[in-house]
Structure 1
Amino acid sequence: MSLTQKSFLPFFLSLIFLLSTITTTTSTLQNLLRSQGLPGGLFPNNVKSYNLDQNGRLEVQLDGPCMTKYEARVVFDSVVRANLSYGGLMGLEGLIQEELFLWFPVKGFLVNDPSSGLILVDIGLAHKQLSRSLFEVPPVCKPREADLLENLGRKMGFQAQR
């Protein structure tokens, strides 16, 4: 076996382990949510890890703040916390949703009647009923637009100073 083949094997095995860990974390969180009567796609695809304590307090770590869309645009913080109980994810922290060009904190998700196909989204000032199907698959979450604009501004400023 050549040196290149010897160094490639550990790299390849590490890559497989890393990818299986990411997939397992996301799918395990999906399974946890489904076992509690909730859709599995309430959190995006970039979940790094999560912890559920004995009091039902769920903490989800993401790769970083990101934006996605269900029915409206939403922004996830890098850490999202909530109280998990059967049919509900309440007391949410770290999630905001755009409504009529304003951003509101999402306080919770509630499934009162699983057969209705609806999920109740609590945005503080109001409750919205949305199709549960919007939340079945974890959405792709991209870096927030504000972060992209800030990085672009830094790059342009750096180039202008040359």
Structure 2
Amino acid sequence: MSMAFFNTFLSLFLLLSLLSLSSPHSLSSSSSIHDLLRSKGLPAGLLPDEVKSYKLSENGLLEVFLDGPCLTKYENRVFFESVVRANLTYGSLIGVEGLSQEELFLWLPVKDIIVDDPKSGLILFDIGVAHKQLSLSLFEDPPHCKPQGGLKLKKHVRKEKGFESLR
């Protein structure tokens, strides 16, 4: 009887071990996302410390979940929504959603983040209207991101008082 118990225990242990290895793309540690970025040729500091979990699908879609919307600064201010999505390939995040950068008092969505040549020391940010090259050294360490409640930057448009409102 004890041999049957041992075989059952061993089978259960092996099954649980295999299950834990079968889903390496769904991790919940914020340090794990930073390790993933490094393994893909990107600096760890592209995402803040406040990442609570992430999912990486087999087709390369990366979904990063933060504690909430937050604001940080590299060279300029950067706004992270609660969920940031992008297609992750070696050296790039393409089709980024949920990340905006302040440029000359305007908030512009970051479309792509690319490290073509790590030896150049530069990282390229495609902000739609322009491509901006920044020093990779700005992104070495994950920044602290300050909570911004329900702030939606896309809705922050200055309303002008028109002629009609002055009557």
TM-score category of the 2 structures, normalised to the smaller one: 0.7 to 0.9
Alignment match, 2:105: 101
What TM-score do you get using the length of structure 2 for normalisation?
0.72
TM-score (norm 1): 0.74
Cα distance between partner residues in 1 of 2:149 and 2:82: 15
8 Å CA contact retained: 2:68, 2:149? no
Counterpart in the other structure of 1:92: 96
1: distance between equivalents of 2:40 and 2:46? 12
2:113 aligned with 1:142: no
Is the CA contact (8 Å cut-off) linking 2:74 and 2:138 kept in structure 1?
A: yes
Q: 1:80 is matched with which residue?
A: 84
The structure carrying a bigger helix percent of its residues is: 1
Count of aligned pairs: 124
Displaced runs of 4+ in structure 1, greater than 3 A? none
Distance 1:114 1:145 in 2: 35
Please give the residue correspondences for 1:7-26 in structure 2 after superposition, counting only pairs within 5 Å: 25-26=29-30
Once residues 112 and 51 of structure 1 are traced to their aligned partners in structure 2, the CA distance between those partners, rounded to angstroms, is 24
Percent identity between matched residues is: 67
User: Following TM superposition, by how much is the alpha carbon of 1:108 offset from its aligned partner in structure 2, in angstroms?
Assistant: 1.4
Instruction: State the shift of 1:145 in Å.
Output: 8.0
| Uncovered stretches (5+) of structure 2, i.e. residues with no partner | 1-27, 152-167
**Using the alignment, how far apart are the partners of 1:104 and 1:52 within structure 2?**
25
Shift of 1:94: 0.2
How far apart are the structure 2 equivalents of 1:118 and 1:58?
23
C-alpha distance in 1, partners of 2:75/2:29?
25
Partner of 1:41: helix, strand, or coil? helix
Structure 1 gap segments, 5+ residues each = 1-23, 148-162
Q: Which amino acid aligns with 2:65?
A: Q
Structure 2 partner of 1:66: 70
Q: 1:47 aligns with which of 40, 46, 51?
A: 51
